[in-house]
């Protein structure tokens, strides 16, 4: 009898264990939707809704209001392909071997070897898909097994995004609606715009004009050529750029001469219209998630590869270390753990940190040897003054940048000449005064030098490693 009772107890406990195991197995991981824009400036729209420039981005603002918004996030490399390659690998460009924009036939062999964001989700049992612009040196392809609609494009031609982004968005929405069962999914929607602005300047380019741009970007519910008069040029429009921040002879970095203020306003107006149109696509995808009834179990993150100068310092495009170019939005919604209206103004995060953070939020293992780190704790504790995310690094083909405290230190070699730049971001947000030779900033400058030297040494980089 005693033995029988013990058998009953044993069987009871075994059943409990089995039940617990089953419950663990049945616990569904969150869906993850990564939305990437191309060339989105935080100086124009950052999700705060606090804009004085007339722009309207209600969907991005709502996403930020429902989740967390980081205000000190930077592109690892403010140029399309290197930034995207870093996003999908969690590695600096010198470690994933993508140091500049690549063409279609430049898909790297190591894209099959290096763990990518999508492949890691796939190996964890996720359905994975990619819609939109690839332009990641092959790492975007390696991040998807169900390609959906995808173009491997260098971008830049007028109306490319305006023509393709609606298609990408529709296909992404359909993918969400088609999901069945308990298997979670990881999906990327990579929008081309507002990148169309790249070639829209000073009249006809590739047979297109400002008017054409507005035609393609406009919201059909609005009057034709809807762009009301926008505010004036950026506050630092007439602030001379600092030598060593740009390359004159390259299209993407040179100062634009010969435009009057009205022409600059038209340029900025067109750029803002492209952003507003992109915001509509973001809203359409988010609404489809709501309609599917899976909002609470879905992580949605919005970011971009880099910003746009949009007339600041009389510059256009990207790649510079100015805030307009190097700063990026990082906005995440996950109702399960992220409180609405969360803002982190302290943590210095980077493109390379997105991959480990998404994996961490989803409860998945993070591949070893990534350069990036998870900022999950910075989401949960946004006011933590002791955050380890207190330094961030960025690079381009001719320079390196380190952001620390309230300062930005840049070292570059432009046409054989070495430059050092130090900006006080807090007291000089327009980045108008190079403080590198100011006696009162001697210690700050030395701290910037030491931080960058240590990083260059630790990373074993071969560019600009000498003072």
Pull the structure tokens for residue 275: 């952003």
Task: Check residue 205 and give its pLDDT.
Answer: 41
The CATH number that domain 31-391 falls under is 3.40.720.10
Task: Check residue 25 and give its pLDDT.
Answer: 43
pLDDT along the chain (467 residues), means of 10: 43 43 60 97 96 91 98 96 94 87 57 85 93 82 70 56 88 94 93 82 48 56 49 90 83 69 82 90 98 97 96 91 97 97 97 98 96 97 90 94 97 93 97 97 98 93 51
Task: Check residue 269 and give its pLDDT.
Answer: 83
Task: Check residue 249 and give its pLDDT.
Answer: 67
150-151/127-133 β-pairing: parallel
Task: Check residue 39 and give its pLDDT.
Answer: 95
- pTM above 0.75? yes
Task: Check residue 328 and give its pLDDT.
Answer: 98
Pull the structure tokens for residue 58: 């209600």
Question: What are the sequence ranges of the domains in the chain?
Answer: 31-391, 394-459
């Amino acid at each position: 009898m005693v033995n029988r009772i013990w058998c009953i107890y044993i069987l009871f406990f075994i059943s409990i264990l089995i039940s617990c195991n089953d419950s663990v197995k049945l616990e569904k991981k969150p869906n993850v939707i990564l939305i990437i824009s191309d060339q989105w400036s935080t100086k124009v729209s950052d999700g705060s809704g606090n804009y004085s420039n007339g722009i309207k981005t209600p969907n991005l603002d709502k996403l930020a209001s429902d989740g967390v918004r980081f205000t000190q996030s930077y592109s690892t490399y403010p140029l399309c392909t290197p930034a995207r390659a870093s996003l999908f690998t969690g590695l600096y460009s010198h470690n994933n071997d993508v140091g500049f924009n690549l063409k279609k036939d430049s898909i790297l062999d190591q894209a099959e070897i290096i763990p990518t964001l999508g492949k890691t989700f796939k190996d964890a049992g996720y359905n994975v898909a990619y819609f939109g612009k690839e332009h990641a040196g092959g790492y975007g392809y390696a991040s998807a097994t169900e390609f959906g609609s995808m173009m491997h494009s260098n971008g830049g031609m007028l109306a490319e995004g305006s023509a393709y982004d609606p298609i990408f968005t529709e296909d992404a929405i359909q993918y969400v609606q088609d999901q069945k069962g308990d298997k979670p999914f990881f999906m990327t929607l990579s929008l081309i715009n507002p990148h169309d602005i790249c070639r829209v300047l000073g009249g006809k380019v590739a047979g297109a004009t400002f008017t054409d741009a507005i035609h393609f970007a406009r919201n059909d519910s609005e009057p034709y050529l809807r762009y009301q008069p926008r505010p004036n040029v950026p506050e630092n429009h007439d602030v001379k750029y600092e030598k060593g921040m740009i390359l004159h002879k390259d299209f993407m970095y040179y100062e634009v001469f010969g435009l009057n203020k009205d022409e600059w306003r038209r340029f900025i107006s067109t750029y803002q219209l492209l952003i507003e149109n992109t915001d509509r696509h973001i809203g359409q995808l988010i609404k489809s998630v709501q309609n599917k009834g899976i909002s609470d179990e879905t992580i949605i993150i919005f970011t971009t590869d880099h910003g746009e100068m949009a007339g600041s310092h009389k510059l256009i495009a990207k790649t510079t270390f100015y805030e307009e170019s190097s700063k990026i939005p990082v906005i995440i919604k996950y109702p399960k753990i992220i409180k609405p209206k969360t803002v982190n103004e302290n943590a210095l995060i980077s493109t390379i940190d997105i991959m480990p953070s998404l994996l961490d939020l989803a409860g998945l293992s993070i591949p070893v040897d990534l350069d990036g780190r998870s900022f999950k704790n910075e989401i949960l504790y946004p006011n933590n003054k002791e955050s380890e995310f207190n330094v961030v690094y960025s690079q381009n083909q001719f320079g390196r940048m380190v952001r620390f405290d309230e300062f930005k230190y840049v070292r570059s070699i432009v046409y054989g000449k070495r430059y050092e730049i130090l900006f006080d971001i807090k007291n000089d947000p327009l980045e108008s005064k190079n403080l590198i030779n100011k006696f009162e900033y001697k210690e700050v400058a030395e701290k910037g030098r030491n931080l960058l030297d240590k990083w260059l040494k630790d990373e074993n980089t071969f560019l600009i490693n000498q003072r």
